[in-house]
């Protein structure tokens, strides 16, 4: 696939020059095991940054550091130019880092709008009465989801009846509405069928088109990353083995880096050896 041939919407405004997230030589040790060995990367507003790598590469560990679940063993994390010291996931959320996990943190038995506002419900009348402003919540949830593409008509629909793609869109719209400037999507397409995967990729492109939000897209799907990403970082066994913009990387580079940096010829030789019973 030719990367240049994929039309990508123009960014709103000039390309941002300052990263919203800067990861500087971050290390993470679990006992004697080093899961991250000095990882650096920059994430810019209005861009989709694909974080790629095989199982065990350290993607989830890095994401847990960015979202306040783990503290790094060494290295720095800067958010909008300032060093961040997240002590909890709440700190990260408050700093504008919104993470959409694979389980999406949705309750299938509740409605779309109740899920959208879960824990942050709007009320009407005196606060102590705690009367929910359902109309307002319905209106906002529906509008926010439609902005990024969910074809939804009933905000009182139970989440359990929604498609996988619509659920992703709900989780993403919710994170943005509550202030995410950086959106971390952990393998958002991996548990979905092909049609639903496309819906999620479209949602990513609509968020990107806003121009102000940075998206970190974790995937091990090379094709998905090529379809939507502006920038790529490849992790292997806790190290960055390659990075660059889509202009920097030719298709073959991406394929080679996806294979953990091994040359395709090396892989072919190994397969050949296996076929011969080695």
Q: Would you tell me which residues interact with Mg ion (CB under 5 A)?
A: 59-60
Nearer to ligand ADP, 41 or 137 (CB): 41
Does residue 53 interact with ligand ADP by CB under 6 A?
Answer: yes
Closest CA to 181 of 107, 103, 84: 84
Smallest separation, CB 134 to Mg ion (Å): 37
Does residue 56 interact with ligand ADP by CB under 6 A?
Answer: yes
Nearer to ligand ADP, 57 or 176 (CB): 57
Nearer to ligand ADP, 37 or 146 (CB): 37
Does residue 60 interact with ligand ADP by CB under 6 A?
Answer: yes
Does residue 234 interact with ligand ADP by CB under 6 A?
Answer: no
Q: What share of the chain is helix, strand, coil (3-state, %, to 5)?
A: 35, 25, 40
Does residue 30 interact with ligand ADP by CB under 6 A?
Answer: yes
Smallest separation, CB 32 to ligand ADP (Å): 10
What are residue 212's DSSP bridge partners? none
Nearer to ligand ADP, 75 or 211 (CB): 75
Does residue 188 interact with ligand ADP by CB under 6 A?
Answer: no
In whole angstroms, what is the distance from residue 42 CA to residue 19 CA?
A: 6
Strand 231-236 and strand 239-245: the pairing is antiparallel
Q: Where are the beta strands (DSSP E) in the chain?
A: 21-30, 33-43, 48-52, 74-79, 82-83, 97-100, 123-124, 131-132, 182-186, 214-219, 231-236, 239-245
């Amino acid at each position: 696939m030719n990367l240049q041939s994929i039309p990508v919407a123009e960014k709103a405004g000039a390309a941002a020059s300052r990263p919203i997230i800067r990861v500087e030589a971050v290390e993470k040790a679990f006992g004697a095991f080093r899961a991250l060995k000095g990882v650096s990367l920059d994430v810019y507003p209005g861009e989709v940054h694909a974080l790629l790598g095989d199982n065990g590469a350290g993607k989830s560990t890095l994401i847990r550091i960015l979202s306040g679940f783990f503290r790094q063993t060494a290295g720095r994390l800067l958010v909008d130019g300032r060093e961040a010291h997240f002590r909890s996931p709440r700190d990260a959320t408050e700093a504008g880092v919104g993470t959409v996990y694979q389980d999406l943190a949705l309750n299938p038995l509740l409605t779309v709008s109740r899920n959208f506002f879960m824990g942050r419900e709007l009320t009407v009348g005196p606060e102590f009465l705690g009367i929910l402003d359902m109309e307002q919540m319905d209106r906002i949830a529906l509008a926010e989801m439609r902005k990024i593409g969910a074809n939804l008509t009933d905000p009182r629909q139970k989440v359990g009846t929604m498609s996988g793609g619509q659920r992703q869109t709900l989780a993403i719209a919710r994170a943005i509405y509550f202030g995410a400037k950086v959106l971390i999507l952990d393998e958002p397409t991996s548990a979905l069928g092909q049609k639903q995967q496309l819906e999620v990729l479209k949602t990513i492109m609509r968020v990107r088109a806003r121009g102000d939000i940075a998206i970190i897209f974790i995937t091990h799907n090379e094709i998905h990353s090529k379809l939507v990403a502006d920038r790529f970082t490849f992790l292997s066994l806790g190290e960055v083995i390659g990075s660059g913009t889509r202009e920097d990387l030719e298709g073959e580079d991406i394929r080679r880096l996806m294979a953990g940096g091994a040359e395709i010829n090396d892989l072919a030789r190994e397969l050949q050896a296996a076929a011969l019973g080695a």
